[in-house]
Structure 1
Amino acid sequence: MENALKGIKILDLTQAMSGPFATMLLGDLGADIIKIEPPDGDQTRSWAPPYMEGISSYFMSTNRNKRSLAINLKTEEGKQIFRKLIAESDVLVENFRPGVIEKLGFSYDIARSINKNIVYCSISGYGQTGPMRDYPGYDLAILAMSGLLGITGNPGESPVKFAVPIADITTALFATVSILSALYNRERTGEGQYIDLSMLDSNFLVLTHQLMSYLSTGKNPEKLGSAHSSIAPYQAYKTLDSYIVITVGTEKLWKTFCETIDPGLENRTEFKTNVDRVSHRELLKKEIEDALKKKTTEDIYRTLVQNGIPCAPVNSVADAASSSQIKFREMIINMDTDYGKIRIPGTPFKLSKTPGEIRFPPPSLGSGNEEILQDIGMTSGQIEELYNKNIIFKRMKDE
């Protein structure tokens, strides 16, 4: 079986999380990702420890299925090489602050003059236009600015950041959809285009029903911890030994839940409808935890699942990684690499005809130099000269 994006070449000028995660997804789907790195490498190569066989585990998390070309784009020879790569590529992705790529000499207009059909995606904190275009935008700042951070955490307490850079990851998903849409449009029309992808835009949209609640009532949504603003029971509940998440979204499920946990709950007037249960959320939480406090999470989980109630134990990362479902779905795989044996996440792209595939591991810095440059017609002697002149670089370990 072939990969869906086989034959698509993507120049990846991104660092940190949003851009690399997007290009990694496209690489899983078969695109040839050429990761352009500065002499010292992607900044996340130094976001360590921990390391995995001498490579930063943070870098490893977003850079599989890529070939690394470590090149100094501030030199004229480096720029000439990059122009040749643009001419032969389908997509260019960058996530510099607005204006930086223009100073390097590779704006969309310049890239289009080299390759009129190129799809060019710029990812930035606030977009390429507007009064905040020049502001720096890392994940936490975007979460705060978008309103998402303002509705996290427990009532009356400080905001709580999600434990992974969720604003970056959300942006990456929007970038991936945008790039695939632009490639499909190019297939129909023969024309490339420019994509202005804003982290703030992306995460403001993620407010979804919370934003619509504000727009319909004029009231700010409240912090609810793990609870849901419009459904109850729908949150984490304490058990004898830990916590379990229970999500009861229909009246039919509510009836079954009561029959399973405490039949008396169904007859309480405070809990008769979902509106009633939301209005008495704290009382409902106390009653449910009173019913659960003498049982372990595992016992409760098995009972609820057997009765069709959506629920889950609050797993640690180790618990999740060792679960039978993750193993069965091959979401952790073992790989042999030039720098040692590693374990990395599998791909979620389970397509029947063109599935995603982990073809090669995250690259050491510059490990693709020779292959990439030979692909554009350079000889071994010319490549050796580039090393001697400090135009290209290579390093096997990040430590």
Structure 2
Amino acid sequence: MTPRRMTTALSGIRVLDLSDRSAALAGRVLADLGAEVIMVEPPGGNSIRHLQPRLEGVVEVEASFAHQYFSANKRSVVVDLATQQELFLSLVASADVVIDTERPGHLDNLGLSHEVLRSANPLLIQCSVTPFGMFGEWRDRKASDLVAGAAGGLIWLSGEPRGKPVQGGADVTYAMAGLIAASAISIALHQRKSGSEGSGSEGSGAHIDISLQEAAATAAMQTATPSNWTWFNQIPRRPGLSAALRCADGGYVGHMIRPDRFEKFLAWADREEIDHGMSADDWELSRLDAPRKGNPVAATTLALAAKLTRDEFFAGALEADLICLPVLSFDDHEQTEQYVINEQFLAVEHPGIERDLGFVRSPVDGMAEPVVLNAAPLLGADQTLVDLVPEPPVMRKMASATSPDPARALAGIRVVDFGWVLAAPIGTRLLASFGAEVIRVESTKRPDSMRSQIGPDGLPDPDMGGLFNVVNTGKKSLAVDLSTEQGMKLVKELIATADVVVNNFRPGAMERMGFGHDVLTALKPDIVSLNLPGAHRHGPWAVRPSMGNILMAASGFNMLTGFDGERPRGIGIAYPDFTGPHLLVSTILAALRQRDPSGGGQEIHLTQLTGMVSLLGAEWMQYKATGVQPPRRANRDPNLCPHGVFAAAGSEYSDDEWVALAVQGDDEWARFCEAIGDAGLANDARFVTHDRRKQNEDALDEIIEAWTGNKDKWDIADQLQAAGIASAPVEHLAETYERDPQLRHHYQLLQQPVRPDVAIPINRETAQWVGHELRLTRAPAVGEHNQHIVCDILGHTEDEYVQLIIADVLT
């Protein structure tokens, strides 16, 4: 079929996509940004094509909803890597990027090691996404989305307080890995183009190493901030940050009461005649870290919910200016005004199967050029591409295939960062980690709430808060009063020197502050400005405050997660706050690439909500094809059985101990039965095939839990992995930090000058360049770089700087 017009930001970039489901999103994001992404598939098609659930009445290799969604905008060629290595190397010679998800060593055994690929193409960027990374004790272990999430500490945070840990719907760990891979590839492409090590020539290729386990650990870094353990010996518990409040009509809302709106909350309770016994002086009871047990705020909220329907509660919360959105199912979406106004959902014709398929908007559909969606290719639809490559390739001898230093990948980019809390700051942390100069614009008069977090002494500390330090590493700080004319002038001078301006305020906030895009372009015509609000620019939710976990509830995600009969909590993290940052990086670098030849900047409008909904694209397509809401998955998977979380023996920490495992296919099932000492179980008529196991999954789970229940979870995982079965302990923060051998290098220790005696543990970047250790640098103190920015960057004199301090312009 003839593809429709595409976004051109990554025009000219060719990506060879060898990935399975675990990194399929990476290629999809790059394709949506305009790259030519070619799936290189074995005869019979890649594994994504064969995943369930599937379209009815369509040949199997084209029927998978996962394939139809994650392969959109891609192309397809068939090459057998086991026998056609020379042909594949010819493709490599024509490419810019290879994405693979093979187990470490597999491509080497085929004669397709990174060194061989780089011999065919010295500028090649290879991104390898594996269960536990390419190095370390666990490098050869297996993992599914569930198992990697368990090993990374993510599953532990999700579910009911006294129930089983729960896997997120729509494969959260895979989504994180795919987005991380896309942003890392974008960084490497920029480094290669700019020659950012100072050689003045085109840069080198690179080999990027991404671990599914670390992707899960990164997503958990707010709820499981590592300093909670090292400073306070605290292990976060389920349900983490997840929330679902049941209302009088059986509907649910996600909500949060902010301390600065506490009086409005009390006034609302008074109007509804709820007896609460609180006054405005009790505002600290509404803090996120306030104790839950016996808290009258919680009791008052429950009383309101017991009286009001979902929609009534939502309306009352909005009137009180609280953070609140309804927990929605797919059945609600097409009647939800916010989605309708913003055309969140669309149909895409697939001529090859003669169907219109239901799609959600692309997660990167916020750039100047809209993303046009083309249906997934039929197997081998683009085989003529193979005929166009030279064969055989010219192989070059290389002294080494090392990667350039990633710490300078984005050197020369200056970012003015208005972001606060998490979503934008994590994205700008990524830019800073890889060499961009990121300058936080902040003020002591209206500080980022992250500046009020507690430090190691248990008291609020603007410079020592654990999570603030995690999400703001490598940045500079300009503390300035923007209510003053001189303060505004300073920041405008800074913007005139910048490449990028970032914010995650509500739509319209930058305009009200005097920094609308028209102002920015007047200051710097080629500026790239990125907005990352919670909801879309238009619609009734546009001006509402939001948080990641509340957006998660409204996206439909919660209704895909958890056990039937339990509250639709979602998972225990503010999920969009960890997906949005990687979309931020990918789109900014695409815009800068587009700017370079044209000299023009652009305004990017991403939203955390659109990004969140886009991660449910395969499930939405299934819903549109069947008219039935996909089931809540609990810990089960249609393609793997057995698959779940099972109770294990208690430990020194608690009796709340669990192990995750996943079995794929009949051969693994037989090995699993042998590993648990019951080889005959493999021939039990109830379990002899995958379909039979799925039909009798409850009985099978009981058998497995009888075996796991009195055993140590670490011993179980070791035993099963030795048999080639994906398994991992469901780890909590103390274990990811202290016991897990594979995460030994995941945390780096930094110090602040105000407390050099205190080590601050920081999650490293998940994407690592092979051959380099990417060392982070500490977060800035408030206003730490005022003098450097005012005098060295903006060129003001020391006397002018002093006068700005005296006038309280610099705070």
Q: Cα distance 1:137–1:108, how it changes in 2: closer, same or farther (>3 A)?
A: same
Secondary structure of 1:271 counterpart: coil
Counterpart-to-counterpart distance in 1, 2:666 and 2:514: 60
Alignment match of 1:14 (pick from 402, 410, 419): 419
> Which residue number corresponds to residue 236 of structure 1?
645
Q: Cα distance 1:380–1:159, how it changes in 2: closer, same or farther (>3 A)?
A: same
Q: Cα distance 1:369–1:225, how it changes in 2: closer, same or farther (>3 A)?
A: same
Counterpart-to-counterpart distance in 2, 1:171 and 1:380: 40
The CA deviation at 1:299 is: 2.1
Q: Cα distance 1:390–1:139, how it changes in 2: closer, same or farther (>3 A)?
A: same
Q: What is the TM-score with the length of structure 2 in the denominator?
A: 0.46
> Which residue number corresponds to residue 371 of structure 1?
788
The CA deviation at 1:353 is: 7.3
> Which residue number corresponds to residue 250 of structure 1?
665
> Which residue number corresponds to residue 143 of structure 1?
552
Counterpart-to-counterpart distance in 2, 1:280 and 1:191: 60
Amino acid of the structure 2 residue aligned with 1:206: L
Amino acid of the structure 1 residue aligned with 2:424: G
Cα RMSD over matched residues? 2.1
Amino acid of the structure 1 residue aligned with 2:729: P
Alignment match of 2:571 (pick from 162, 185, 198): 162
> Which residue number corresponds to residue 187 of structure 1?
596
Amino acid of the structure 2 residue aligned with 1:385: Q
Asked if the contact 2:648–2:659 (Cα under 8 Å) also holds between the matched residues in 1, the reply is: yes
Counterpart-to-counterpart distance in 1, 2:559 and 2:454: 29
Counterpart-to-counterpart distance in 1, 2:527 and 2:644: 46
Counterpart-to-counterpart distance in 2, 1:10 and 1:194: 14
Asked if the contact 1:227–1:236 (Cα under 8 Å) also holds between the matched residues in 2, the reply is: no
Aligned residue runs from structure 1 range 295-334, under 5 A:
295-322=711-738, 323-327=740-744, 330-334=745-749
Q: Cα distance 1:45–1:290, how it changes in 2: closer, same or farther (>3 A)?
A: same
> Which residue number corresponds to residue 111 of structure 1?
520
Shifted more, 249-258 versus 25-34: the winner is 249-258
Amino acid of the structure 2 residue aligned with 1:283: A
Q: Cα distance 1:302–1:91, how it changes in 2: closer, same or farther (>3 A)?
A: same
Counterpart-to-counterpart distance in 1, 2:424 and 2:726: 34
Asked if the contact 2:660–2:728 (Cα under 8 Å) also holds between the matched residues in 1, the reply is: yes
Asked if the contact 2:464–2:752 (Cα under 8 Å) also holds between the matched residues in 1, the reply is: no
Asked if the contact 1:152–1:224 (Cα under 8 Å) also holds between the matched residues in 2, the reply is: yes
The CA deviation at 1:335 is: 2.4
Asked if the contact 1:29–1:355 (Cα under 8 Å) also holds between the matched residues in 2, the reply is: no
Q: Cα distance 1:212–1:275, how it changes in 2: closer, same or farther (>3 A)?
A: farther
Amino acid of the structure 1 residue aligned with 2:454: A
Amino acid of the structure 2 residue aligned with 1:378: H
Amino acid of the structure 1 residue aligned with 2:673: C
The CA deviation at 1:104 is: 1.0
Amino acid of the structure 1 residue aligned with 2:670: K
Alignment match of 2:428 (pick from 23, 31, 49): 23
Secondary structure of 1:222 counterpart: coil
Q: What does the per-residue CA deviation read over 1:289-332, in whole Å, with 9 as the maximum and x for residues that have no partner? A: 123234322221111111121111011101001222222xx222
Aligned residue runs from structure 1 range 170-209, under 5 A:
170-209=579-618
Amino acid of the structure 1 residue aligned with 2:721: V
Counterpart-to-counterpart distance in 1, 2:785 and 2:572: 32
Counterpart-to-counterpart distance in 2, 1:310 and 1:52: 42
> Which residue number corresponds to residue 798 of structure 2?
380
Amino acid of the structure 2 residue aligned with 1:292: T
Q: What does the per-residue CA deviation read over 1:359-386, in whole Å, with 9 as the maximum and x for residues that have no partner? A: x211111111111112111122111111
Counterpart-to-counterpart distance in 2, 1:337 and 1:145: 39
Secondary structure of 1:215 counterpart: helix
1:81 aligns with 2:490: yes
> Which residue number corresponds to residue 397 of structure 1?
none
Asked if the contact 1:98–1:124 (Cα under 8 Å) also holds between the matched residues in 2, the reply is: yes
Q: Cα distance 1:279–1:218, how it changes in 2: closer, same or farther (>3 A)?
A: farther
Asked if the contact 1:111–1:118 (Cα under 8 Å) also holds between the matched residues in 2, the reply is: yes
* Unpaired runs of at least 5, structure 1: 394-399
Asked if the contact 1:4–1:354 (Cα under 8 Å) also holds between the matched residues in 2, the reply is: no
Alignment match of 1:283 (pick from 699, 708, 732): 699
Secondary structure of 1:221 counterpart: coil
Counterpart-to-counterpart distance in 1, 2:681 and 2:588: 50
Secondary structure of 1:132 counterpart: coil
1:121 aligns with 2:537: no
Q: What does the per-residue CA deviation read over 1:336-362, in whole Å, with 9 as the maximum and x for residues that have no partner? A: 43122423222323124786441x211
Amino acid of the structure 1 residue aligned with 2:608: M
Amino acid of the structure 1 residue aligned with 2:665: T
> Which residue number corresponds to residue 349 of structure 1?
767
> Which residue number corresponds to residue 390 of structure 1?
808
The CA deviation at 1:32 is: 0.6
The CA deviation at 1:166 is: 1.6
Asked if the contact 1:39–1:392 (Cα under 8 Å) also holds between the matched residues in 2, the reply is: no
Aligned residue runs from structure 1 range 25-104, under 5 A:
25-40=430-445, 41-48=447-454, 50=458, 55-104=464-513
Counterpart-to-counterpart distance in 1, 2:664 and 2:487: 57
1:3 aligns with 2:408: yes
Aligned residue runs from structure 1 range 218-237, under 5 A:
218-237=627-646
Amino acid of the structure 2 residue aligned with 1:289: E
Alignment match of 1:215 (pick from 621, 624, 628): 624
Asked if the contact 2:645–2:661 (Cα under 8 Å) also holds between the matched residues in 1, the reply is: yes
Aligned length: 390
Counterpart-to-counterpart distance in 1, 2:771 and 2:515: 37
Counterpart-to-counterpart distance in 2, 1:311 and 1:351: 27
Asked if the contact 1:29–1:349 (Cα under 8 Å) also holds between the matched residues in 2, the reply is: no
Q: Cα distance 1:32–1:232, how it changes in 2: closer, same or farther (>3 A)?
A: same
Counterpart-to-counterpart distance in 2, 1:213 and 1:264: 37
Secondary structure of 1:61 counterpart: helix
Amino acid of the structure 2 residue aligned with 1:382: E
Q: Cα distance 1:336–1:126, how it changes in 2: closer, same or farther (>3 A)?
A: closer
Q: What does the per-residue CA deviation read over 1:110-150, in whole Å, with 9 as the maximum and x for residues that have no partner? A: 11121111111000111223443223221122011101122
Secondary structure of 1:382 counterpart: helix
Secondary structure of 1:120 counterpart: strand
Counterpart-to-counterpart distance in 1, 2:488 and 2:659: 55
Asked if the contact 2:408–2:434 (Cα under 8 Å) also holds between the matched residues in 1, the reply is: yes
Secondary structure of 1:55 counterpart: coil
Amino acid of the structure 1 residue aligned with 2:796: M
Counterpart-to-counterpart distance in 2, 1:263 and 1:191: 66
Q: Cα distance 1:169–1:121, how it changes in 2: closer, same or farther (>3 A)?
A: same
Alignment match of 1:260 (pick from 661, 665, 675): 675
Shifted more, 46-55 versus 66-75: the winner is 46-55
Counterpart-to-counterpart distance in 1, 2:538 and 2:671: 52
Q: What is the TM-score with the length of structure 1 in the denominator?
A: 0.91
Larger RCO, structure (CA 8 Å, separation 6 or more): 1
